[in-house]
Amino acid sequence: LQLAQGGKTTLKLNTAGECEVWVNGNSIGRTRSASSSAKDMPVETELSTELPQGKHRIVIRIDPNNLPDFLRLESSEGTFVMD
């Protein structure tokens, strides 16, 4: 994630599975899983952290024994870049 300005950054993660999100090697939170009756329904989770201007590495840790069918990560504060 590349930020033109530093400050509070919110990541929106939309998935039906449980995930842990790390930014620059620090855990910023977990998604919650959908209830067992709605296990295929997406759950949107917002996670926020303070970040300085520049590039940041995001890692999403997923249980390999319980992979979600889909996962979407969004942020309006920055641009996602591939290095």
State the pLDDT confidence band at 68, using cuts at 50, 70 and 90: confident
At residue 33, the pLDDT reads: 66
Q: Among 58-62, 68-72, 75-79, which stretch is predicted with the lowest mean pLDDT?
A: 68-72
Residue 83 has pLDDT above 60, yes or no: yes
Residue 59 in this model has a pLDDT that exceeds 80 = yes
What confidence score (pLDDT) does residue 23 get? Answer: 97
User: Which pLDDT score is estimated for 16?
Assistant: 81
Contacts of 22 (CB under 8 A, 6+ apart): 28, 58, 59, 60, 61
Over 80: is that where the pLDDT of 11 sits?
yes
